[in-house]
């Protein structure tokens, strides 16, 4: 039973105890932009794209518990501009050349860029040089596209029980690594059937020999924008803190 409500941009949203603002919004069909949130995992607020204003103060909606009477602002010019700036920084920090990427049309970063009308980089490109790992027989890793969402790390640890991935470095040097002495994916027990192989929102973890199989116009985000897929992100019991 729904116990109370709060408002998002004037729209009343019901919630159940334990839900975050993000979870309640998605359950009600209200889209809040995000990249690191995944309905099967407990939110941890790394990408900040879901930041909203609650009673006039900023907060990440994926980690903020919903409370009765909250006045949440999400689609204001100020908040949308901040989200665009975050997207622009993500786009220049990595190598995101969409026309040549196998994930084009299925990439959440690209889809959110279109959603928020981010059509120029604005900042200077970093052009990182992170070697591609093609050692695994079934999977290619292109570290140049990583946005540090940590979803593959959490999936590998919490679901697959393998701890294949990790982050190394601090600040601007932080990057994704493979937990093997060689640093190569082939020297781990990673499998294409792992949950970690399925959660990357961008084009880092790619299945080999299937690239560009779906024609332009038929890809996931071709027919409808990111926000139209809100039903895909509705929370599960695991993401609401019930994972054992």
**197: pLDDT strictly greater than 60:** yes
| For the chain, domain boundaries | 4-80+230-240, 97-227
Domain 97-227 belongs to what architecture?
A: 2-Layer Sandwich (3.30)
For domain 4-80+230-240, the question of CATH label 3.20.20.140 is answered with: no
pTM of model > 0.75: yes
Instruction: Give strand ranges (E) for 55-169.
Output: 57-60, 71-73, 139-141, 165-168
Hey, what's the torsion of the CAs at 142, 143, 145, 146, to 10 degrees?
140
2-22 per-position pLDDT tens digit: 469 999 999 999 999 999 999
pLDDT tier at 234, thresholds 50, 70, 90:
confident
Residue 242 confidence (pLDDT): 44
24-42 per-position pLDDT tens digit: 999 999 999 999 999 999 8
| Closest among 200, 205, 195 to 136, alpha carbons compared | 205
46-58 per-position pLDDT tens digit: 999 999 999 999 9
């Amino acid at each position: 039973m729904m116990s109370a409500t709060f408002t998002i941009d004037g729209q009343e949203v019901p919630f159940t105890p334990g839900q975050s603002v993000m979870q309640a919004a998605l359950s009600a069909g209200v889209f809040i932009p995000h990249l690191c949130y995944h309905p099967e995992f407990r939110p941890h607020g790394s990408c900040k794209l879901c930041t909203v204003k609650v009673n006039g103060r900023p907060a990440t909606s994926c980690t903020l518990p919903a409370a009765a009477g909250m006045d949440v602002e999400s689609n204001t010019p100020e908040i949308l501009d901040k989200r665009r700036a975050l997207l622009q920084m993500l786009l220049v920090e990595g190598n995101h050349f969409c026309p040549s990427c196998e994930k084009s049309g299925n990439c959440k970063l690209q889809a959110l860029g279109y959603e928020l009308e981010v059509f120029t980089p604005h900042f200077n490109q970093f052009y990182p040089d992170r070697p591609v790992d093609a050692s695994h027989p079934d999977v290619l890793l292109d570290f140049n596209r990583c946005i540090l969402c940590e979803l593959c790390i959490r999936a590998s640890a919490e679901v697959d029980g393998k701890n294949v991935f990790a982050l190394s470095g601090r600040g601007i040097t932080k990057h994704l690594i493979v937990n093997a002495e060689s640093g190569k994916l082939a020297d781990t027990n990673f499998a294409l059937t792992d949950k970690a192989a399925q959660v990357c929102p961008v084009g880092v973890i790619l299945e080999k020999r299937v690239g560009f199989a779906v024609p332009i116009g038929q890809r996931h985000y071709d027919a409808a924008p990111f926000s139209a897929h809100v039903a895909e992100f509705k929370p599960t019991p695991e993401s609401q803190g019930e994972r054992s």
